[in-house]
């Protein structure tokens, strides 16, 4: 799904650190969600060929309890079951809050849990089904998927990250642009939370040296090392791939409009043969 179908698809991850206060259990940042919804609405209003595909992270609705109950490891003891049920319910609650705001902002958003189109085995996606996603994007609906507590055919359950969902979706819709909205300006050469000297990398290549020190994060889905791997894989499927600060107003809007905004552009060494991800001049 790309220019050959006449559609310009923007695949966007709304990070859990943008939509929630990560240190307070289940605290939703409604103001940020409403602002980002309007910035995205502008993109789909610009052309009837523009499409959005959205993914959100877990933030304090996912990571706090997933860590407490060690859910990424799969089922090991009965006491985890309650935690799994809670996280799964909390993620649906967060997804519902986000979808409601998108609808109120004029975006025809629909909840699209990862199990609608993905099968997970040993914490990894082993099977995907593109048909439903393509149908709903083709029709003009905006699927909103998320990192989730999922049924796992090897270990009963596991935690699937929003980045893994982004990767699967990017291979299905071949977006013109993939955007990661985070709580920092982009990818830095060292952890900006730990070092005042860390520098933003405006164009990130696979050969660039980036410190993968994950100190200061409570994410159960891995630190910077894993994130970079996903970023480059996604970049192979996308016309452009951008990491930006979703907490700063208008960065997302400007990026989607093809204008310069502080961010990191992820530059893959080579695009996958046979993929048709496109870069439409004028927009993205």
| Contacts with ligand IP8, residue ranges (CB under 6 A) | 16, 57-58, 62-63, 66, 87, 91, 147-149, 159, 161-163, 219-221
**Residue closest to ligand IP8, measured at CB:** 147
Nearest-approach distance from CB 63 to ligand IP8, in angstroms:
5
Select 161 or 168, whichever has its Cβ closest to ligand IP8: 161
Nearest-approach distance from CB 273 to ligand IP8, in angstroms:
29
Select 5 or 67, whichever has its Cβ closest to ligand IP8: 67
Nearest-approach distance from CB 46 to ligand IP8, in angstroms:
28
| Region for residue 90 given its phi and psi (left: phi exceeds 0; alpha: psi -120 to 50; beta: otherwise) | alpha
Nearest-approach distance from CB 195 to ligand IP8, in angstroms:
23
For 139, residues 6+ apart whose C-beta sits below 8 A from its C-beta are none
Nearest-approach distance from CB 219 to ligand IP8, in angstroms:
6
Select 17 or 278, whichever has its Cβ closest to ligand IP8: 17
Nearest-approach distance from CB 278 to ligand IP8, in angstroms:
26
Phi, psi of 256 (to 5 degrees): -65, -25
| Bridge partner list, 12 | 54, 179
Round to the nearest angstrom and report the end-to-end CA distance of the chain. Answer: 16
Select 143 or 147, whichever has its Cβ closest to ligand IP8: 147
Number of C-beta neighbours around residue 150 at 10 A = 23
Select 142 or 159, whichever has its Cβ closest to ligand IP8: 159
Select 227 or 251, whichever has its Cβ closest to ligand IP8: 227
């Amino acid at each position: 799904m790309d220019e050959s179908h006449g559609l310009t698809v923007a695949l966007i991850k709304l990070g859990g650190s943008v939509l929630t206060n990560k240190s307070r259990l289940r605290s939703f940042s409604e103001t940020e969600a409403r602002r980002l919804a309007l910035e995205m609405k502008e993109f789909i209003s610009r052309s009837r060929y523009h499409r959005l595909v959205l993914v959100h992270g877990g933030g304090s609705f996912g990571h706090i309890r997933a860590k407490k109950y060690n859910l990424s490891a799969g089922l090991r003891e009965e006491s985890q079951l309650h935690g799994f049920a809670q996280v799964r319910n909390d993620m649906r609650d967060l997804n519902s809050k986000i979808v409601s705001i998108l609808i109120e902002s004029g975006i025809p958003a629909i909840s699209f849990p990862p199990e609608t189109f993905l099968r997970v085995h040993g914490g990894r996606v082993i099977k995907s089904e593109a048909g439903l996603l393509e149908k709903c994007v083709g029709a003009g609906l905006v699927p909103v998927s998320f990192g989730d507590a999922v049924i796992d055919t090897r270990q009963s359950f596991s935690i699937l990250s929003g980045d893994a969902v982004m990767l699967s979706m990017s291979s299905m819709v071949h977006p013109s642009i993939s955007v990661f909205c985070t709580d920092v300006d982009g990818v830095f050469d060292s952890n900006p939370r730990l070092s005042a000297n860390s520098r933003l990398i405006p164009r990130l290549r696979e050969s660039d040296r980036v410190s993968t020190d994950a100190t200061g994060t409570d994410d159960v889905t891995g630190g910077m090392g894993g994130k970079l791997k996903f970023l480059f894989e996604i970049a192979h499927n996308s016309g452009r791939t951008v990491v930006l600060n979703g907490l700063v107003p208008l960065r997302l809007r400007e990026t989607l409009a093809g204008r310069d905004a502080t961010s990191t552009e992820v530059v893959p060494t080579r695009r996958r043969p046979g993929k048709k991800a496109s870069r439409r001049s004028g927009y993205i």
